[in-house]
Amino acid sequence: MQVFGLLGNPVEHSLSPPMHEAAYDALGMDARYVTFEPARDAAGAAVAAADTLGIAGLNVTIPFKRDVLDAVEPDDVARRVGAVNTVDFSTSPPRGYNTDVAGVERALAHHDVGIDGRDAVVVGAGGAGRAVAFALADAGARVHIANRTVDRAESLAADVPGATAGGLDTRDRVADADLLVNATSVGMDPDAEETPVPAAHLHEDLAVLDAVYAPIETRLLREAAAAGATTVDGAWMLLFQGVAAFERWTGRDAPVDAMNQALRAALE
Ligand code: NAP
């Protein structure tokens, strides 16, 4: 039996186990996906232990994505983003990848949203914002990063090819943009008054990806749909980072429909 898993703290509400186990079931694989919650300073020790125990692959989530960089051989994308979310133990040393980047590209491609040559606004400059900004810039978009803490946006823009940065006041650039990604946590609380981008900036020539996946339908996506924009919910991004991890580990095409159904059932 192959064992895959997730390293995080906390991991109890993770959606990865049902999503990956649906893939194993769909393909008749003898495999399990389990969660590990080591101490917050133990990322390196946990990766070494997983390697020793013969674990085939690990996903990595908060707070370990940066720390795991030092415990693996990161590929170029993971090194530039500064975060690893997928470890493949089939080589020695184990290889580290950032499939959040692939998740953004594949979620947009799945909805026929083009990136190359487009003007994109990314709101947020935390962990998700980093992956989104690199994904869009690497796929050929002109990226503007708007963040509540301007320093954080500027520091991210310095790493991302061609990116510009500003505070939340620069969200008005969405009015002239082709693509908007919300990479803030605003929208997770359905009762909150806040929205990451005012409805007045949304328009029918825009595609909107909301990284928030709980709830699946956020206020931003509702208002974007009302404005005639193309909408892509955060569960697609989550799905495709898992699909990319599965394909890294197994070398097989992932059963995307089975994984998507399991993910959405778990979210609901
Ligand atoms: P993070 O590193 O803590 O970053 C949070 C971001 O949200 C920062 O840019 C922060 O701005 C901004 N923010 C928080 N509260 C705000 C407010 N009231 N107004 C304006 N901006 C605010 O978190 P993260 O890991 O990037 O996660 C962000 C969201 O993405 C979460 O909802 C998470 O669930 C989601 N996510 C989704 C996926 C997926 O696959 N769909 C993957 C990863 C994350 P400051 O810098 O000013 O604090």
pLDDT tens over the chain, length 268 residues: 999 999 999 999 899 999 999 999 999 999 999 999 999 999 999 999 999 999 999 999 999 999 999 999 999 999 999 999 999 999 999 999 999 999 999 999 999 999 999 999 999 999 999 999 999 999 999 999 999 999 999 999 999 999 999 999 999 999 999 999 999 999 888 777 889 999 999 999 999 999 999 999 999 999 999 999 999 999 999 999 999 999 999 999 999 999 999 999 999 8
Query: How high is the pLDDT of residue 248?
Result: 97
Cα gap 65→47, rounded to integer Å: 12
Amino acid identity, position 246: F
> Is residue 71 within 6 Å of ligand 1 at its C-beta?
no
Strand partners, 187: none
Helices then strands (H, E): number in the chain?
9, 12
> Is residue 129 within 6 Å of ligand 1 at its C-beta?
yes
User: How many Å lie between the centroid of ligand 1 and the Cα of residue 187?
Assistant: 10
With beta carbons less than 8 A apart as the criterion, state whether 141 and 119 touch.
yes
Nearest CA to ligand 1 atom 11: 148
Amino acid identity, position 43: A
Query: How high is the pLDDT of residue 113?
Result: 98
Question: Is residue 168 left, alpha or beta, with left meaning phi > 0 and alpha meaning psi from -120 to 50?
Answer: alpha
Q: How far is CA 251 from CA 106, 209, 254, in A?
A: 17, 28, 9
Query: How high is the pLDDT of residue 193?
Result: 81
Cα gap 210→104, rounded to integer Å: 10
DSSP for residue 94: P
User: How many Å lie between the centroid of ligand 1 and the Cα of residue 63?
Assistant: 14
Residue keyed to tokens 């594949």:
106
Q: Quick one: which of 94, 95, 74 has its CA closest to 83?
A: 74
Which of 61, 81, 184, 218 is the pocket-test mutation for ligand 1 (most atoms within 8 Å of CB)? 184
With beta carbons less than 8 A apart as the criterion, state whether 259 and 235 touch.
no
User: How many Å lie between the centroid of ligand 1 and the Cα of residue 188?
Assistant: 10
Query: How high is the pLDDT of residue 68?
Result: 97
Would you say the C-alpha torsion 49, 55, 58, 62 has a positive or negative sign?
negative
Query: How high is the pLDDT of residue 94?
Result: 98
Query: Annotated catalytic sites, by residue?
Result: 65
User: How many Å lie between the centroid of ligand 1 and the Cα of residue 148?
Assistant: 11
133 sits in which H/E element: helix 127-138
Cα angle vertex 143, ends 139, 147, to 5°?
A: 135
Query: How high is the pLDDT of residue 21?
Result: 98
Cα gap 173→6, rounded to integer Å: 37
Would you say the C-alpha torsion 174, 178, 183, 188 has a positive or negative sign?
positive
> Is residue 212 within 6 Å of ligand 1 at its C-beta?
yes
Query: How high is the pLDDT of residue 191?
Result: 77
- The pTM (predicted TM-score) of the whole model is 0.96
Query: How high is the pLDDT of residue 192?
Result: 76
Query: How high is the pLDDT of residue 52?
Result: 97
